[in-house]
Amino acid sequence: MHIGPVDSSKVPRFAGPATFARLPRLDQVERADVAVVGVPFDAGVSYRPGARFGPAAVREASRLLRPYHPGLDVSPFERVQVADAGDIAANPFDIGAAVETIEAAADELDARLVTIGGDHTIALPLLRSAAKKHGPVALLHFDAHLDTWDTYFGAEYTHGTPFRRAVEEGLLDTEALSHVGIRGPLYGKKDLEDDRRLGFGILTAADVLRRGLDEVIDLLRQRVGDRPLYVSVDIDVLDPAHAPGTGTPEAGGLTSRELLEILRGLAGCRLIGADVVEVAPAYDHAEITSVAASHVAYDLVSLLAMQEKT
């Protein structure tokens, strides 16, 4: 018997501790099949800071989530034990030390992780941990930006470089790498050439619009195949109308509906972990971004729950 969320018919949703989806803490269960963990870290940002407050904001917005997911026809909290593992306390002044801390903490958590950031720098240590368990993994990266640049001001570890480092370190299966939602100006055409050389395929935000969700989902599933899959979602993949609370917004993005439908189309893929990053609540309005991120995380938890044996 799994311990689920607090019963909202007995404790109103606005009352009590703000764990993700009002789930039990990790120390309140014997073990967790899926753990939601926060990483309040944003020392790797290149423009607007504030994603360190993302985990708390997403948890607060997740109070409205309910136990049954009709889109996927699953009750994830009944099917598996899901728990909130709290936050990984990473050094806010030393990116290298923070990356090491995040990797070590992810190694220690004996569960499939849905991680709430924090900035996109955290994807690198999470992928390091995932690759130790599964070998090189397929990656679906939802973002306005490529995040495969080499350095910023000579720094190799920032929120714009994690996937170049991941390829260089052999963490990714270079036959199964995809960006989704890319848009906006670049420094030059070489950015795209470098990205292609690293093994990435790109479905731009315009591709999603013009080709349609069914074709996009089919293309992604073909590229991933039966490989172990990691999904990384930068909330700025959404248009600023749907996610204003982020550090580097770009016009012309996906709607929250499009993103959620693409994620649901991954049902049956071998998802082994995921992150939702770059929620910066200081720039949000009426919790629009936090609400969207909480639903994205809920869909990822549900996808992980569907593949676990009961």
On whether residue 136 sits in a domain, the answer given is yes
Q: Domain tally for the chain?
A: 1
Q: What is the largest CA-CA distance in the chain?
A: 58
**pLDDT-based confidence at residue 62 (cuts at 50, 70, 90):** very high
Question: How many CB atoms sit inside 10 A of residue 60's CB?
Answer: 17
In a domain, 95, yes or no: yes
Share of the chain above pLDDT 70, in %: 99
Is pLDDT at 74 greater than 80 in this prediction?
A: yes
| pLDDT tops 50 at residue 310 | no
Q: pLDDT for 152-191, tens place per residue?
A: 999 999 999 999 999 999 999 999 999 999 999 999 999 9
Residue 281 lies in a domain: yes
pLDDT of the residue at 308: 61
Confirm if 33 and 24 have CB atoms less than 8 A apart: no
pLDDT (tens digit, 9 = 90+) per residue, 248-307?
999 999 999 999 999 999 999 999 999 999 999 999 999 999 999 999 999 999 999 998
The residue range of the domain holding 255 is 20-307
d(CA 50, CA 289): 13
pTM more than 0.85:
yes
Does residue 6 fall inside a structural domain? no
In a domain, 252, yes or no: yes
Helix (H) or strand (E) holding 297: helix 288-307
Q: Alpha-carbon distance 244 to 75, whole Å?
A: 30
Q: What is the pLDDT of residue 307?
A: 85
Residue located via tokens 């997911």: 69
* CATH (domain of 212): 3.40.800.10
Within-domain flag for 187: yes
CA-based R_g, the chain, Å? 18
**Residue 12 resides in a domain:** no
Q: Under DSSP, is residue 301 helix (H, G, I), strand (E, B) or coil?
A: helix
92 neighbors 253 (Cβ within 8 angstroms): no
Residue 85 has a pLDDT of 98
Domain for residue 262, yes or no?
yes
**What span, in angstroms and rounded, lies between the C-alpha atoms of 271 and 302?**
11
According to the model, what pLDDT value does residue 211 have?
A: 98
Cβ-based neighbour number of residue 187 at 10 Å? 7
Cβ atoms of 204 and 227 within 8 Å: the answer is no
